[in-house]
């Protein structure tokens, strides 16, 4: 009989116990969204009995046919079939010439980068839509100068400016909450930006 066998077995058990006790669970990175959720954005005017008002505030319309929104004011989408709300979002900041962080940013084609920050929340009802997502990419935006002249190609080199971790996801599915930036490439230092989803002729409009 090997008199060292019990000692070796005990050593293995002890080593296993020490290993199990010394291991620590993986820690959260601590990274959090850079802004509060939509619900905590700047409040919109209280709804009234006027049928033209809703949780999204007054329905003022620009000369371009867009719903005019202020920074922090709630906007949203609803189902064409049932009018159930499918998303709520707010533009929380618009920054001219933001600092580019990608490490490979090109010079703006049109003169200036314009950062648009959004908080977005989608509802579970979005899953019932034919296309169960919403999109806020550069290609869903238009830009105008202060005189209302539409600017050509607001995409330009904007894709190269920000690190992907700062950008809003291209598609946002049902029941999600996310915040991030969209960058445009514009010639005018002040004017208007319009979110017109999926190539629609009109949408929502913000001054910058």
Say what the pLDDT of residue 72 is. Answer: 95
Q: Give the pLDDT confidence of 145-191 residue by residue, as tens digits.
A: 999 999 999 999 999 999 999 999 999 999 999 999 999 999 999 99
Q: What is the pLDDT of residue 25?
A: 65
- Per-domain residue ranges of the chain: 37-207
How many residues in the chain? 208
C-alpha distances (whole Å) from 87 to each of 19, 42, 55, 80 are 48, 17, 12, 13
Q: Look at residue 99 in the predicted model and tell me its pLDDT.
A: 96
**Whether CATH 1.10.3720.10 fits 37-207:** no
Structure tokens at 10: 């005990």
Q: Which residue has the higher pLDDT, 6 or 54?
A: 54
Helices (H), the chain: 5-22
DSSP characters for 14-80?
Answer: HHHHHHHHH--PPPP-----SS--GGGSSPPPPP-S-TT-BTTB---B-TTSPEE--TT--EEEE-T
Distance CA 84, CA 35 (A): 26
Identify the helix (H) or strand (E) that includes residue 144.
Answer: strand 141-145
User: Per residue in 62-106, pLDDT tens?
Assistant: 999 999 999 999 999 999 888 899 999 999 999 999 999 999 999
Collapse the DSSP code of 164 into the 3-class scheme (helix H, G, I; strand E, B; otherwise coil) and give the result: helix
Contact between residue 182 and residue 134 where contact means Cβ atoms under 8 Å apart: no
């Amino acid at each position: 009989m090997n008199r060292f066998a019990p000692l070796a077995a005990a050593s293995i058990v002890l080593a296993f116990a020490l290993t199990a006790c010394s291991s620590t669970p993986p820690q959260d990175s601590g990274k959090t969204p850079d802004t509060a959720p939509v619900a905590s954005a700047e409040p919109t005017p209280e709804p009234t009995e006027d049928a033209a008002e809703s949780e999204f505030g007054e329905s003022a319309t620009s000369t371009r046919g867009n719903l005019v929104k202020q920074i922090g004011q709630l906007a949203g989408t609803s189902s064409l079939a049932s009018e159930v709300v499918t998303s709520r979002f707010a533009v929380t900041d618009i920054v001219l010439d933001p600092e580019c962080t990608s490490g490979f940013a090109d010079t703006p084609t049109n003169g200036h980068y314009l950062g648009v920050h959004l908080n977005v929340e989608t509802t579970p009802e979005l899953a019932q839509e034919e296309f169960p997502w919403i999109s806020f990419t550069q290609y869903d935006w238009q830009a105008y100068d202060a005189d209302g002249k539409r600017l050509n190609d607001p995409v330009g080199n904007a894709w190269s400016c920000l690190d992907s971790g700062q950008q809003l996801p291209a598609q946002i599915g049902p029941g999600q909450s996310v915040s991030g930036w969209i960058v445009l490439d514009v010639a005018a230092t002040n004017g208007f930006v319009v979110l017109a989803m999926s190539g629609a002729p009109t949408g929502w409009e913000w001054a910058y």
